[in-house]
Amino acid sequence: MSEQHRIRDQLRRAFERGAWHGPSVKEVLAGVTAVKAASKPAGGAHSIWELVNHIGAWKRIIRRRVEGEVVSNVPDEQSWPAVNDTSEAAWTGSLDELEQGHILLCETVSQMDESRLDEVVPGEDFSFYVMLHGVAQHDLYHAGQVALLKKIYL
């Protein structure tokens, strides 16, 4: 199995299912309604919905980087897209957009030439290898936050 396919497997495990530590992003989001997703915890922490939008934003940013675009100094409004509509339809749309971003990133990684993994990401000080593993780590970090928020709200 090629290294980019191993990375894709880690991305899949972190997002879909099969992470060794516990629930993946999708598993932890199961059963979350729009009302619960939009609920803001005390102290100004992010809502589940904001976390979903953030995870999706970074999947898109990373895909763009792999495709050759220089994306650095990402502004907060791009990293943390606002939740403007808190309807169930909008929540479903956010979940669908997150899933689509994951699928596209995995497809992009699968098509990537393995020799690029050691290259430094343009505009950054880390390699594509480190960045792609970081996406899986990022997913799981925020999945843990979602799990804690679910315990509060559900």
Torsion, Cα of 2, 7, 9, 14 (10° steps): 170
Give the residue extent of every domain in the chain: 3-153
Q: Interhelix angle for 88-111 vs 3-15, to 10°? A: 170
Query: pLDDT of 45-71, one tens digit each?
Result: 999 999 999 999 999 999 999 999 999
What is the full DSSP assignment across 49-85?
HHHHHHHHHHHHHHHHHHTT----S--HHHHS-----
Q: What is the pTM of this model?
A: 0.95
- The CATH fold assigned to 3-153 is Four Helix Bundle (Hemerythrin (Met), subunit A) (1.20.120)
pLDDT tens digit string along 123-147?
A: 999 999 999 999 999 999 999 999 9
Residue with tokens 């502004």: 75
